Amino acid sequence: MSEFEPKIVAFVCNWCTYAGADLTGTSRIKYAQNVKIIRFPCTGRIDFMLLLKAFAEGADGIIVSGCHPNDCHYTSGNFHARRRWITFRSLLDFLGIDVRRIQFSWVSAAEGAKWAEIANTTVNNIRELGPYTDYAKVAVHLKKEAKV
């Protein structure tokens, strides 16, 4: 049996982390291929429900990343996001959804190397934790129905 390859979804902001991840590529730094990047205008735009949707679709881990505090393109989107993540993370934890599988980070447009490091360590951590099926299982019945 081949080794388990985690599926990671990364929700990143357009102005910092997306540009940072671009820099990782243009700097020719290699990093894990497991990370699928989804670009948002701002971390403030990342609806908390999207994280659950990713888990429902079979993601094993999630990265949420944006501009460092005080660097938001829209001045305060990341500050609002930070409050929301503190709240959401505490709620998920209370519900028994594995918060070790969600990595929050600040990666600026200049931090190509940091992005590679975040992506690689997240993939490694999730590889150790194994596939995440708890949440995906609850969505199975609906998917079957949709196919009929």
Q: Report the interface residues with other proteins, using CB under 8 A.
A: 48-49, 52, 56, 69-70, 76, 79-80, 82-99, 103-106, 118, 134-135, 138-139, 141-142
Residue 100 C-beta: closest distance to other proteins, Å: 8
For the record, the structure tokens of 117 come out as 């490091």
* Alpha-carbon span 79 to 113, nearest angstrom: 24
Strand stretches in the chain, DSSP E: 8-13, 35-40, 61-66, 102-106
Least separation in angstroms between CB 2 and other proteins: 25
State how far the Cα of 13 lies from the Cα of 10, in Å rounded to an integer.
Answer: 10
Q: What minimum distance in Å lies between the beta carbon of 88 and other proteins?
A: 6
Contact 62, 123 (CB under 8 A): no
